[in-house]
Chains A and B, each alone.
Chain A
Amino acid sequence: MATPASERADGDAEPAGPLLSLAGIHKRFGQLEVLRGIDLEVKRGEVVCVIGPSGSGKSTLLRCINLLEPPEEGGISLAGRDIFGGPDGGAGESGGDVDFLRQRVGLVFQQFNLFPHRSALENVAMAPEKVLGHSREEARRGAAELLDRVGLGDKLGEYPERLSGGQQQRVAIARALAMGPQLMLFDEVTSALDPELVKEVLDVIRELVAEGMTMIVVTHEIGFARDVGDRVVFLDEGLIVEQGPPAQVLDDPREERTKRFLGLVLER
């Protein structure tokens, strides 16, 4: 669906190692330690689903990977390049490493965060034009193509307030894809949606999975995690409690905490 990473002519392809690796990520908000040492490696093409109770640090983890919340400790490397090495050796707010990372990692938010003063087309075309330096025509053509692929080819000129939640979220996905990311992060992207709109968004993500996109999906949709995940990670109190293939973690969890959580979620 997106421009395949390999087509990008920036020479950062390094097929051997993991695409993303996190080592000992710690994040505090004041006294509260939200992440207490996360190690995670994501291979190219892998779909990692992160589940866990609210407050477990799932969203913070994604925001740390994107450096919207720079971690206090730990290392992040993407495509073999060390991006972040803690507060001292770390990347600055506007360092080249941050740009490198954000231009290769797409993030989709629970609340969509579309730009309300711009049409769907302009929402998607903005970053390619402003950040990648594409011409306006080129950016708009690409944006129209992406919107078409998420099923919104007839909504190019609509403003976000005139779109349903599901449509807005699909625009947000197209917007992230427009940067040609190598890794997509989905932060509970269906949690703010009415139940009947969830499927259209999950279908778009399924399509991305089929095309081999690498992604980390934070979700409460256990069924979806089972369907598309290559690996399920269960996070609780800022630590990875358990991880493995969906069948193992979801149907035959080893840890007591995982069992308790799944019991509560699947009861519904």
Chain B
Amino acid sequence: MNEIIDQYFDLSLMAERFGEVFDGFLITIELSIVAGVLALIWGLALALLRQLPGRGFLPVRFATIAYIDVFRGIPLLLIILLISGSLPYLEFLPESVRIPNWLGQPDPFWYGVMAITITYGAYMAEVYRAGIEAVPGGQMEAARSLGMSHGQAMRNVIVPQAVRKVIAPLLNDFIALMKDTTLVSVIALNEVALVGRDIQAETFRSSALTLGAILFLVVTLPLARLVDRLINREQRRFTRGAPRVEAL
């Protein structure tokens, strides 16, 4: 029993290395937020491209669907390795793109951002699509009958309603994205998993990784509760008239 505690829950080790682990976790958070915001935007762009009407946009729709299918089907780890291992050697690109150091973050950070945005953009595009398709067809017809273009109708009528419907699943995807940022440790980004591994290799104890896991839970558990509440609220809206059961 003591062995278990020493291995996973060595409080003195946790206290001693807390600063390092926490710094790593801050990088995790930064990576999650930057990549999360970009994936939200890129996913919406993909979903809108996929909804473009008419025969003329058939190639665009086709290309978008192909993109989404491909990047949902490839492991994120492979994308990270592909980007980090190739981008620096593509001589035709400017150096600031090959070895990006924007906003004072090192290049593995940005390779991670790219890989996560590419992959999670595809996931989130599917979530947005579900939201857009859940908006009744009469909404688009009403907007078009008032003379709005497809784009105006999307912007003013469809997307605002669709986003409201999918906030909860998007947040779910964000939680998954946050956890997946640990994969970027394989290209030497000093985020929480890599910091924990280094300490593990040094001390033969895993408590720093446990500490990292606990830090994750501090963020992800409230987010998961928030998702539940959003889902409950959405469901209540559709069961009007039924007695109200307050969540939590």
Answer yes or no: are A and B bound together in one complex: yes
Interface membership of B161, Cβ < 8 A: yes
Contact of B139 with A93 in the complex, beta carbons under 8 Å: no
Find residues 101-117 in chain A having any chain B CB closer than 8 Å to their own CB.
Answer: 102-103, 105-107, 109, 111, 113-117
Contact of B147 with A109 in the complex, beta carbons under 8 Å: no
Docked complex Cα distance between A105 and B138 (Å): 17
Contact of A94 with B54 in the complex, beta carbons under 8 Å: yes
Contact of B145 with A115 in the complex, beta carbons under 8 Å: no
Find residues 101-159 in chain B having any chain A CB closer than 8 Å to their own CB.
Answer: 136, 138-139, 141-150, 152, 156-157
- A107 surroundings in chain B (CB, below 8 A): 145
Contact of A109 with B141 in the complex, beta carbons under 8 Å: yes
Contact of B146 with A68 in the complex, beta carbons under 8 Å: no
Interface membership of A262, Cβ < 8 A: no
Q: In the assembled complex, how far is the CB of residue A104 from the closest CB belonging to chain B, in whole angstroms?
A: 9
The SS class assigned to the A binding surface is loop
Interface membership of A218, Cβ < 8 A: no
Find residues 16-62 in chain B having any chain A CB closer than 8 Å to their own CB.
Answer: 53-54
Interface membership of A92, Cβ < 8 A: yes
Contact of B149 with A66 in the complex, beta carbons under 8 Å: no
Contact of B53 with A130 in the complex, beta carbons under 8 Å: no
Provide the A61-76 mask, 1 if CB < 8 A to any CB of B, else 0. 0000010100000000
Q: Which of A93, A127, A131, A172 contacts B53 (CB 8 A)?
A: A93
Docked complex Cα distance between A107 and B142 (Å): 8
Using CB atoms, name the residue of chain B closest to A102.
B147
Interface membership of B233, Cβ < 8 A: no
Contact of A130 with B148 in the complex, beta carbons under 8 Å: yes
Contact of A113 with B138 in the complex, beta carbons under 8 Å: yes
Known contacts A109-B141, A115-B139, A117-B164: A179-B146 contact under CB 8 Å: yes
Contact of A111 with B147 in the complex, beta carbons under 8 Å: no
Known contacts A93-B54, A113-B139: A127-B161 contact under CB 8 Å: no
- A116 surroundings in chain B (CB, below 8 A): 161
- B144 surroundings in chain A (CB, below 8 A): 68, 102
Docked complex Cα distance between A127 and B142 (Å): 10
Docked complex Cα distance between A130 and B143 (Å): 11
Interface membership of A176, Cβ < 8 A: yes
Contact of B152 with A109 in the complex, beta carbons under 8 Å: no
Interface membership of A175, Cβ < 8 A: yes
Contact of A115 with B149 in the complex, beta carbons under 8 Å: no
Docked complex Cα distance between A45 and B150 (Å): 31
Interface membership of B160, Cβ < 8 A: yes
Using CB atoms, name the residue of chain A closest to B137.
A113
Contact of B139 with A126 in the complex, beta carbons under 8 Å: no
Interface membership of A99, Cβ < 8 A: yes
Contact of A127 with B148 in the complex, beta carbons under 8 Å: yes
Find residues 155-175 in chain B having any chain A CB closer than 8 Å to their own CB.
Answer: 156-157, 160-161, 164
Docked complex Cα distance between A172 and B138 (Å): 12
- B156 surroundings in chain A (CB, below 8 A): 126, 130
Provide the A222-266 mask, 1 if CB < 8 A to any CB of B, else 0. 000000000000000000000000000000000000000000000
- A175 surroundings in chain B (CB, below 8 A): 146
- B54 surroundings in chain A (CB, below 8 A): 92-94
Docked complex Cα distance between A41 and B39 (Å): 53
Q: In the assembled complex, how far is the CB of residue B115 from the closest CB belonging to chain A, in whole angstroms?
A: 35
Known contacts A93-B53, A94-B54: A113-B146 contact under CB 8 Å: no
Known contacts A92-B54, A115-B157, A131-B152: A176-B146 contact under CB 8 Å: yes
- A92 surroundings in chain B (CB, below 8 A): 54
* Residues in A lying within 8 Å of B, measured CB to CB: 66, 68, 92-94, 99, 102-103, 105-107, 109, 111, 113-117, 126-127, 130-132, 172, 175-176, 179
What are 5 A-B contacts defined by CB distance under 8 Å? A66-B145, A68-B145, A94-B150, A111-B138, A179-B146
New A-B contacts (12) at CB < 8 Å, excluding given A92-B54, A109-B138, A179-B146: A94-B149, A94-B150, A102-B144, A107-B145, A113-B138, A117-B160, A117-B161, A117-B164, A126-B156, A126-B157, A127-B146, A175-B146
The 9 A-B residue pairs whose C-beta atoms are closest, nearest first, are A113-B142, A127-B146, A113-B138, A103-B147, A107-B145, A102-B147, A131-B147, A93-B54, A117-B160
